[in-house]
């Protein structure tokens, strides 16, 4: 027969045991936030956000697909400044070259820097395709587009970039079958900041108002000499992706893509450049 004293003690302890279990459940460790997360900041992005809102509402983009992601990477923890359909797969045009040239730098090292610089500065399509096949030959002993694409997908996966849905039909961005999201572009650019070849990659990108495919762009504005970006243009597709050193000293990583617009490419380029200028003015 169980002693009464034992039963009484058990009745007292049981609520305490279950209470401790509940407390453990409530204080369980939460998963870490994503690498790129929103938080409060003293910097004002108002003019940039207004410019982006105007672009979204522009009648010329009524039947178009717009996607962008802008991240402030000044502090240790990145801050998402603007995110609009950033995960949707889009036709990237020549911004696709970012994935090829950045991977080439780590696969081949210093000897490939001149080739990467020429490819990005002047957006040379045949050079980008050649680099893609060359990567395939180095990694899989088969200098083909198929091997190159597999090697590049593997490379960016190891860098922490989510490559789901990403599709390379070629290595230069000319094909309308290529598919990359604005976020994948930003993630790749963000990951390259930790690469031993980051400076070489960074300097290979055209500089607004000064070099490469951006040498005539945004001259006389805050963006001149402050934005390094890869440009992309094919029929009804315009894209930009790169880095910004703002007037206030902040550092941004961005991707801005428009597919299927109903106007001349020069006009769309101007509209997108106005957004980039607002970035530089922060």
List per-residue pLDDT tens for the chain, 282 residues long.
445 444 444 444 444 343 333 333 333 333 323 444 444 456 899 999 999 999 999 999 999 999 999 999 999 999 999 999 999 999 999 999 999 999 999 999 999 999 999 999 999 999 999 999 999 999 999 999 999 999 999 999 999 999 999 999 999 999 999 999 999 999 999 999 999 999 999 999 999 999 999 999 999 999 999 999 999 999 999 999 999 999 999 999 999 999 999 899 999 999 999 999 999 999
CB 108 within 8 A of CB 138: yes
253 located within any domain: yes
Structural domain total, the chain: 1
97 located within any domain: yes
CB 257 within 8 A of CB 182: yes
Kindly report the CATH number assigned to the domain that includes residue 169. 3.40.710.10
- List, edge to edge, every strand of the sheet that includes 227-234: 79-84, 65-72, 251-259, 237-245, 227-234
Kindly tell me the sign of the dihedral angle through the C-alpha atoms of 103, 78, 203, 172: positive
24 located within any domain: no
Output the DSSP codes for 31-76. Answer: PPPPSSB----SS--HHHHHHHHHHHH-GGGTTSEEEEEEEE-SSS
Q: What is the CA radius of gyration of the chain?
A: 24
27 located within any domain: no
112 located within any domain: yes
3 located within any domain: no
22 located within any domain: no
**pTM of the complete model:** 0.86
Domain that holds residue 126: 46-281
**Residue 219: DSSP 8-state:** T
Q: Phi/psi class of residue 181: alpha, beta or left (left: φ > 0; alpha: ψ in -120 to 50)?
A: beta
How many H-runs (helices) and E-runs (strands) does the chain carry? 9, 5
245 located within any domain: yes
Residue 236 phi, psi (nearest 5): 60, 20
């Amino acid at each position: 027969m169980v002693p009464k004293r034992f039963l009484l003690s058990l009745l007292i302890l049981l609520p305490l045991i279950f209470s401790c279990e509940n407390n453990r459940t409530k204080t369980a460790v939460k998963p870490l936030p994503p690498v790129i997360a929103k938080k409060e900041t003293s910097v004002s992005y108002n003019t940039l956000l207004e410019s982006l809102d105007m672009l979204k509402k522009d009648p010329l983009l009524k039947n178009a697909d717009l996607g962008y992601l802008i991240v402030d990477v000044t502090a240790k923890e990145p801050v998402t400044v603007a995110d609009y359909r950033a995960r949707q797969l889009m036709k990237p045009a020549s911004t696709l070259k970012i994935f090829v040239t950045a991977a080439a730098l780590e696969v081949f090292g210093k000897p490939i820097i001149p080739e990467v610089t020429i490819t990005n500065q002047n957006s040379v399509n045949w050079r980008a395709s050649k680099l893609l096949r060359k990567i395939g030959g180095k990694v899989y002993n088969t200098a083909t587009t198929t091997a190159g694409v597999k090697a590049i997908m593997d490379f960016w996966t190891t860098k922490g970039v989510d490559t789901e849905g990403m599709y390379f039909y070629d290595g230069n961005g000319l094909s309308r079958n290529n598919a990359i999201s604005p976020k994948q572009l930003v993630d790749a650019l963000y990951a390259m900041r930790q690469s031993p070849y980051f400076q070489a990659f960074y300097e290979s990108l055209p500089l607004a108002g000064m070099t490469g495919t951006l040498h005539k762009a945004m001259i006389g504005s805050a963006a001149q000499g402050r934005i390094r970006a890869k440009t992309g243009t094919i029929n009804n597709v315009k894209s930009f992706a790169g880095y910004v050193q703002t007037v206030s000293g902040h550092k941004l990583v961005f991707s801005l893509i428009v597919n299927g617009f109903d106007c001349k490419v020069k006009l769309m380029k101007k509209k997108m450049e106005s957004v980039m200028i607002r970035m530089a003015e922060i």
